Structure formats: structure tokens, C-alpha cells
Amino acid sequence: EVQVLESGGGLVQPGGSLRLSCAVSGFTFSIYSMSWVRQAPGKGLEWVSGISGSGASTYYADGVKGRFTISRDNSKNTLFLQMSSLRAEDTAIYYCAKSKRIDSSSSGFDYWGQGTLVTVSS
Amino acid sequence: DIQMSQSPSSLSASVGDGVTITCRASQSISSFLNWYQQKPGKAPKLLISAASSLQSGVPSRLSGSGSGTVFTLTISSLQPEDFATYFCQQSYSTPYTFGQGTKLEIK
């Protein structure tokens, strides 16, 4: 059974930093691309960042480029999102999502975690 | 970036009705279009990938079609569990943009 579990969310002041983690099980983590998708309260879905199975390739939305860093530890089946210079508009539930196809995100995301809430406020 | 727009933004229908949601891309995305369902307080669920490929376990009353820039999600004979918000998403190129969502409510 595939399991995806995010952690690390919380309340942070503007300009602060936070590191999200996503622990997975039930599939061969190292061969699947993974992504972070966020959802501001009462709003739609926004893809934030993605990473290839090996970790060699990373991708970012324009609004987080230079502030967020995605990474993965395939030995520990864990995905990370390091967030810095946080802004109020980064407040959202952050979901970790597994790509359906091996090392490609071309067929969408078939497993999602329950999300972790990040609140940026003074 | 590729912009995705859905219509309508909200829709009221009754159990047993058929409904269609449309998703338009700002440029051709071939068939790299996915549909998700989200219920309040829950993570999105992948329903259809590659425009028309039904995910395992998804009932056959749901179907997807389209290619290029115009896509549709059709639900025939709505069931109580279908009332939710639906999002389209392009997976043609990063950033993988989503439509703004269509909220399907019970009439």
C-alpha cells in the first residue's frame, strides 16, 4: 500500500524559513518523480516544485524560484522542500505528490499526502 | 507559462443528471491533460490522465475527452459521491498549471 506523509508545517514569521518533509512507502521511491503542490485557504491548486527520481533535475514555479529548494534522499524514501524568505502569500496547505509514470510527470500525480499547513504571519 | 481555464466555475445539478466541465489551455498541450476530484478537507484524487485514461477504481460514468487546447470531463448520471470540486491540470510543460476549479453542488 502506497503511503505519503508530509510533516514540518507550522507558523513562521515573514522572512523566515521552514523545511517540509515527505516520507513515502509502498513503492520504489527512487524511480518516480515527485512534486510539491500547494493550496491557499479556500483557493485552487498550485504546482510549486518537482524533482526527478535521481534528484538530478529540479523544477520550480516562478513565484518560488530562488527561495525554495526541493531535494530528496532516496536512501530514506523522503522528499524535502526547504523554504526561505517566506511571504504571507506562501500560506497554504502543502501536498507531496507522486508522479504516476516512472520518472516523468507527464501523466499527473496518482498519490498525494494529506498535506501540511504552512502559515506565514507575524 | 500555459494558462488553464475551466468552465463553469460552479455548477448545480441533481442526482441522476449528466454534466460536462470544460478545460481550455492557452496553447496546445496535445493530450497531456489530467483531471482531479477534491472533497473538502481532503487531498486531490487523480481521476483521468492523458485526457481520457480512467484511473483504476474510478467509475465508468466519468469520462474525459479532447486534445490540443479543449478538453472535457463528463459525468453521466451523477451520484451523491460525485459532488465535489474538479480541477484540470496540464502536464505538458513546467510549471504544471491547474485550472481554477469547478465546484459541483447538489441542486
B43 in contact with chain A, both atoms CB, cutoff 8 A: yes
Confidence at residue A104, expressed as pLDDT on a 0 to 100 scale: 80
The single-letter DSSP state of residue A4 is E
Record: contact A114-B43, CB cut-off 8 A:
yes
User: Residue A106: pLDDT band by 50, 70, 90 thresholds?
Assistant: confident
- Model confidence over B22-41: pLDDT tens digits? 999 999 999 999 999 999 99
Instruction: State chain B's mean pLDDT as an integer.
Output: 97
Is beta strand B33-38 parallel, antiparallel or unpaired with respect to A104-112?
Answer: unpaired
User: Residue A103: pLDDT band by 50, 70, 90 thresholds?
Assistant: confident
Identify the closest residue of chain B to A48 by CA–CA distance. B95
* Cα separation of the two ends of chain A: 40
Confidence at residue A105, expressed as pLDDT on a 0 to 100 scale: 76
Q: What is the least distance, in Å, from the CA of A75 to any CA of chain B?
A: 26
Record: contact A46-B98, CB cut-off 8 A:
yes
- Model confidence over A80-92: pLDDT tens digits? 999 999 999 999 9
pLDDT at B71 over 80: yes
Mean pLDDT for B48-76 is 97
Nearest to B91 among A106, A114, A115 (CB): A106
Mean pLDDT for A98-120 is 93
Identify the closest residue of chain B to A116 by CA–CA distance. B43
By the 8 A CB rule, do A13 and A121 touch?
Answer: yes
Cβ neighbours for A45, distance < 8 A, ≥ 6 positions apart: A37, A38, A39, B36, B38, B44, B87, B89, B98, B101
Confidence at residue B103, expressed as pLDDT on a 0 to 100 scale: 98
Record: contact B96-A62, CB cut-off 8 A:
no
pLDDT at A102 over 90: no
